[in-house]
Structure 1
Amino acid sequence: MTATVPDARPPGRRERKKQRTREALVDAAFALFAEKGFDATTVEEIADAVDVSSRTFFRYFASKEDVALTFQDEQLRAVLTVLAERPADEPIMTALRRTVVQVARACESGELGFTPERFQCLITMTADSPALSAGSLEHTQRKQTLLTEVIAERMGLDPATDMRPHIVAATATGAFRTAAEAHNSPSMGYPSLAEAADAAFAILEQDLNTR
């Protein structure tokens, strides 16, 4: 049997142009978010900054919330990858704590393909904008199944018949959101998201750890 060789050809001119347009829209959006704030920025302004129509904008993104939350997909992919690579005998909450802290540090240091300033802008906007906060929560809930599957595999459980992986995943995503809120609260005193996440997951680790 002849093995199938994956198509490793570089993207064509059309694909490269589409990617450049997408990246330009993201760049323009975050420049406007930083200048005007999320709620005051319109889709039309983002499109105009790239010299494209609003119709073109909607070929790439469903809304301005979708632009702002692009990086959440990168975060999730990193979390799933790091969690899957944690030692198999590590208790689940310990594995999640170390995974989330590692990914948070990578985000804050610019190691996931976007700048630390842009990442902090997203955290601040999510805290300040009810619309973006709601969009972030909805986005997280849609993606939670992927996290549940990885957790279920680590725990040796079937998520179709056992609630535990779902509860662990929901608890973990809630803890991360709480950590982001704590990082944004001056009274909490967490200078970085990684430190806030470490503290939040330490609480869970103490009470909910199980293999």
Structure 2
Amino acid sequence: MNATAPEAHPAGPETQLPGRRERKKQRTREALIDAAFDLFGEKGFEATTVEEIADAVDVSSRTFFRYFASKEEVALSFQEEQHHAVLTALAARPREEPVITAMRRAVVEIARACERGELGFDPERFEVMMTLMDNSPSLMASSLEHQQKKQASLTAVIAERMGVDPSADLRPHVVAATAACAFRASADMLQQYREMLGDAPLSETIDRAYAIIEEGLNFPSV
């Protein structure tokens, strides 16, 4: 037994209970997300109810709403994880990389991680999310509503890389908006690329989109 353990971590319910509570809350939250994505994959987003998600975890609907405001929020939890992972990956890119190059490599890195089940991402959940976004107009609308908040945090990271004040410089905002549009265009074009190129992953389509931006958008008219 470690003799210093009692001093570093005093025994007793007062110190141990909060940790257990937090772990239990996290397990319940993850269980609700798992159940939701299982049901979304089986029934689709629109046909799945909050009551069914709660029942699958053997909790009440009231308990569900302690963790999530709606089933849309559950579905979009995967996007939130992706977004935070991209911000982390972008912040870790070498400082000498131009901003679009750094964005391209960070976003493609996280997309590949989602596809391969790396960095803690579930590839099956990723595929369900892609299908839901294609098939549910209401979920797509909710995603777009959340986009502004995500764009603000992305703008802040880009501005920090550029060493500029985003309140006085338009460029980080343009880059962040362009990055969001590139991701959305990639998802929209994915099925068409798969028809042309076979089982093309989203990461490859994203890489193509960012390559276009890197090369420049001032295409000649015809």
The structure 2 residue matched to 1:47, chosen from 23, 30, 54, is 54
Deviation per CA, 1:89-147, whole angstroms, max 9, x where unpaired?
A: 21111111111111110111111323211101101111111011111122222121111
* Alpha-carbon distance in structure 1 between the residues aligned to 2:86 and 2:64: 29
Cα distance in 2 for partners of 1:69, 1:151 equals 23
**Identity level (%):** 66
Which of 194, 204, 211 in structure 1 is aligned with 2:213?
A: 204
Where 2:54 maps in the other structure, the secondary structure is: helix
Higher helix proportion (structure 1 or 2): 2
How far apart are residue 184 of structure 1 and its match? Answer: 3.4
4+ residue segments displaced more than 3 Å: 184-190
CA distance in 2, matches of 1:21, 1:188: 42
Name 1:60's counterpart in structure 2: 67
Local SS of the residue matching 1:89:
coil
Residue in 2 aligned with 1:165? 172
Q: 8 Å contact 2:116–2:123 — kept in the other structure? A: yes
TM-score by length of 2: 0.85
Amino acid at match of 2:24: K
Does the alignment pair 1:102 with 2:115?
Answer: no
Q: Which has the higher contact order (CA 8 A, sep 6+)?
A: 1
Task: Give the equivalent residue in structure 2 for 1:4.
Answer: none
Q: Which amino acid aligns with 2:167?
A: A
**How far did 1:188 drift?**
5.5
- TM-score of the superposition, structure 1-length normalised? 0.89
Counterparts of 1:173 and 1:151 in 2: how far apart (Å)?
13
Q: Report the equivalent of 1:129.
A: 136
Which deviates the most, 9-18 or 190-199? 9-18
Larger Rg: 2
**Aligned to 2:188, which of 177, 181, 188?**
181
Distance 1:75 1:23 in 2: 16
| Alignment-derived partner of residue 149 in structure 2 | 142
- Asked whether the equivalents of residues 124 and 184 of structure 1 are also in contact (C-alpha less than 8 Å), the reply is no
Q: Rate the CA distance shift 1:44–1:56 in 2: closer, same or farther, 3 A.
A: same
Residue identity matched to 1:204 = I
Residue by residue over 1:8-43, the C-alpha shift from the partner in whole angstroms, topping out at 9 and shown as x without a partner, is x98622111111111111111111111101111011
Match of 1:193 in 2: 202
**Equivalent residues of 1:34, 1:121 under 8 A apart:** yes
Q: Any gaps of 5 or more consecutive residues in structure 2?
A: 1-8, 10-14, 218-222
The answer to whether the aligner puts 1:27 opposite 2:11 as a matched pair is no
Structure 1 stretches lacking a partner, 5+ long = 1-6
Deviation string, structure 1 residues 143-189 (Cα, Å, up to 9, x no partner): 21111011111122210111110111011011111111222344454
Which of 104, 114, 120 aligns to 2:121? It is 114
In angstroms, what is the RMSD of aligned CA positions? 1.8
User: What is the distance in 2 between the residues matched to 1:85 and 1:51?
Assistant: 41
